[in-house]
Amino acid sequence: MIPAGDVDVGDVIVLPNADDAVLVSRVRLGQGGLIFTVTSAGGDSPGEEREQPVKLTTEVRLRSRGRDAAC
**Which pLDDT belongs to residue 47?**
55
**Which residues make Cβ contacts (< 8 Å) with residue 67, sequence separation at least 6?**
2, 11
Query: Pick from 9, 15, 27: which is nearest to 65 by CA?
Result: 15
In the chain the domains, ranked by start, together with CATH numbers, are 2-59 (2.30.30)
**Which pLDDT belongs to residue 25?**
92
- CA–CA gap between residue 11 and residue 35 (Å, rounded): 14
User: Would the pLDDT of 70 be above 60?
Assistant: no
DSSP class of residue 67 equals S
The reply to whether the predicted model has a pTM over 0.85 is: no
